[in-house]
Amino acid sequence: MPKTSARLLTLLSLLQTRRDWSGAVLADRLDVSLRTVRRDVDRLRELGYPITAVKGPEGGYRLGAGTELPPLLFDDEQAVALTVALQIAATTPGSGFAEPAGRALNTIRQVMPSRLRHRVDALRVTAVEQSPVRPAGPVGGDVLLAVGAAVRAREILRFDYGAEATDGPPRRVEPHHVITWGGRWYLVAWDLDRDDWRIFRADRITPHTPGGPRFTPRVLPGGDVATFVTGTFRGSGDASGDWPCRGTVIVDLPAATVALYTRDGLVEEIGPHRCRLTLGSWSWIGLAAAIARYDADIEVVGPGELTGAFDRLARRFTRTAAGDGVTSPAS
């Protein structure tokens, strides 16, 4: 029988791999009795892990979400990946997460085994941000979380806008989309007091709590956020949206991650781990190649020319991988 500490880690690892485990299966996996499984589950609960009992013929256990963050368990690859991601966040100016990311990085490094700490210390990552179209002020992480929560909940958002607005009444809007454009975060919203659509800079927003009641989303001019925002910035003299080929995809990455590497496109948050990306290029093949660099699963929203470009690239890369991608002049 393994030592208690090692057995607890194994049990926690098993609980993380699937939704439900029967007590009998856990006992068999750990080579212990059902009574020992029950005691180990109680120990994990004392450490803060929200493990619930599952009713059924055999009974079982489920690891759920709790109200506090318990000690986390990562394998070696996860730990290294996490520290690299934190290094990027800690060295990215204007993100609003640099200081807490730096503290989190120090905390994780202190509890790492020496073999992993040496690997991490040998890799220093610095995110170099290109100059945006206009200088961007830092956006606090709490602001983005508050605005994003209002968008997802479809609740009216109240906020002060700009330092000069603190003495007046707060703005009242129906928040529809959180986006990035040209290195800045923006909120696309229906302004209730001005009875019109507005695009607000996130770095000038100071949210008020609590928010207002829920609302029914309106239809954006042009039918979608990409058309509306692109047209608005073009009208204001921003030429970054003036490309002959422009397409939209859904990327299986958080909007904040994609925004780190996007300076001439539109990034819209549609979920914690997915975003809608609109980019432009001089050619459809060039646009498909630019989107592929995000190294994530992609779903094409449109137009059809972009889908065709991905198909041509896929066939071209397949020939290259097979070793016959280059045709000699003599053939």
Residue 160 lies inside a defined structural domain of this protein: yes
Residue 214 lies inside a defined structural domain of this protein: yes
The residue segments making up the domain with residue 23 are 4-63
Does 260 share its domain with 295? yes
Residue 70 lies inside a defined structural domain of this protein: no
d(CA 201, CA 232): 14
Q: Which of 234, 257, 279 is the last residue of a domain?
A: 234
113 CB burial (10 A radius; 0-12, 13-18, 19+): exposed
Does 110 share its domain with 157? no
Residue 261 lies inside a defined structural domain of this protein: yes
Q: Which of 206, 234, 262 is the last residue of a domain?
A: 234
Task: Give residues with Cβ within 8 angstroms of 89, minimum separation 6.
Answer: 95, 97, 98, 101
Residue range 84-118, pLDDT digits in tens? 677 766 655 555 666 677 777 777 776 677 777 76
Provide the CATH number for the domain around residue 198: 2.30.30
Q: What is the pLDDT along the chain (331 residues), one digit of tens a residue?
A: 456 667 877 787 777 766 778 888 888 888 888 888 888 888 888 877 888 887 766 668 888 765 455 566 666 777 777 776 777 666 555 556 666 777 777 777 766 777 777 666 655 554 444 444 444 556 666 787 788 888 888 999 999 887 655 667 888 999 998 887 766 788 889 999 888 898 888 888 888 887 788 999 898 887 777 778 777 766 544 444 467 788 899 998 887 778 777 766 788 878 777 888 888 887 898 889 889 888 888 999 988 999 999 999 888 888 888 876 555 444 3
What pLDDT, on a 0 to 100 scale, did the predictor assign at position 300? Answer: 92
What pLDDT, on a 0 to 100 scale, did the predictor assign at position 309? Answer: 92
Three-class DSSP labels, 180-235? EECCEEEEEEEECCCCEEEEEEHHHEEECCCCCCECCCCCCCCCCHHHHHHHHHHH
What pLDDT, on a 0 to 100 scale, did the predictor assign at position 124? Answer: 52
- 176 close to 220: Cβ distance less than 8 angstroms: yes
Helix (H) or strand (E) holding 78: helix 76-90
Helix 284-292, helix 304-321: angle, nearest 10: 70
What pLDDT, on a 0 to 100 scale, did the predictor assign at position 93? Answer: 53
Provide the CATH number for the domain around residue 265: 3.30.70
Helix 76-90, helix 98-111: angle, nearest 10: 150
Q: Considering only CA atoms, which of 180, 190, 285, 198 is closest in space to residue 240?
A: 180
Residue 326 lies inside a defined structural domain of this protein: no
209 CB burial (10 A radius; 0-12, 13-18, 19+): exposed
d(CA 277, CA 295): 14
Does 149 share its domain with 91? no
Residue 269 lies inside a defined structural domain of this protein: yes
Provide the CATH number for the domain around residue 19: 1.10.10.10
Name residue, tokens 């002959």: 244
The domain total for the chain is: 4
Q: Which of 180, 199, 234 is the last residue of a domain?
A: 234
Residue 286 lies inside a defined structural domain of this protein: yes
